Amino acid sequence: MNPSDGLEHLSIIEPLCAVFRRKLKQVGLKYTPERAQILDAIIRRDGESSGVFQADELLAAMRSAGFRVSKATIYRTIKLLADSGIIQQVLFDAESAHYQLAYGKSASALLVNVDTREIIPIELPELVSLRDRICKARGLAAEGHRVVIYARVGNQMVK
């Protein structure tokens, strides 16, 4: 597949759809067109920008792409996807809930440029061992973590 054909996301749509479908069946729920379209829209968004989205953003994006889904279905589906482990909530501000695709990035962190409001997902592999060590010291097992780092454009010379 050509990496510049705008269809990179197709490489993950199929497996994620299958995962979602299986998870739904496990609990006796149905795989509907709306649910498929919402997951597809989330995957498409993941390609652009930071991949972090909010319910109303997603709704607006889908509407302007010609889909007619309701707010209620967006919220209900987001909850199902989070329960399935396909997306995860990221704690990034307190105004409203933010989510991102969770495939393989359960340990990632977000770097927020407070000047430009740009959100940059970063990897902090060192944090996992640090986290596990701290939990173990208290007889706990780490389940996950959330990290947000706030930064601004430094005026100091960068060597």
Partner DNA sequence: CTTGGTGCAAACATTTTGCAGCACA
Partner DNA sequence: TGTGCTGCAAAATGTTTGCACCAAG
Please spell the DSSP secondary structure of 74-122, one letter per residue. Answer: HHHHHHHHHHTTSEEEE---SSS-EEEE-TT-TT-EEEEETTTTEEEEE
Distance CA 109, CA 147 (A): 5
144 binds a copy of itself (CB under 8 A): yes
93 binds a copy of itself (CB under 8 A): yes
Please name the amino acid found at residue 44: R
From the list a copy of itself, DNA, none, partner contacted by residue 71 (C-beta under 5 to 8 A by kind): DNA
Distance CA 150, CA 135 (A): 25
Dig out the tokens for 57 from the structure. Answer: 């953003």
Residues 112-131 that bind a copy of itself (CB under 8 A): 113-114, 120, 122, 124, 126-127, 130-131
Give the distance, in angstroms, between the CA of residue 4 and the centroid of all CA atoms in the same chain.
23
Write the interaction track for DNA spanning residues 48-87; mark x where CB under 7 A is met and - where it is not: ------xxx-----------xxxxxx-xxx-x--------
In the complex with a copy of itself, the residue whose CB is nearer, 48 or 143, is: 143
82 binds a copy of itself (CB under 8 A): no
Question: CB 91 → a copy of itself: shortest distance, Å?
Answer: 4
96 binds DNA (CB under 7 A): yes
150 binds a copy of itself (CB under 8 A): yes
Distance CA 44, CA 126 (A): 30
Helix H or strand E encompassing 11: helix 10-26
Residues 100-129 that bind DNA (CB under 7 A): none
Query: Interface with a copy of itself by CB under 8 A: which residues?
Result: 89, 91-94, 96-98, 111, 113-114, 120, 122, 124, 126-127, 130-131, 134-136, 138-156, 158
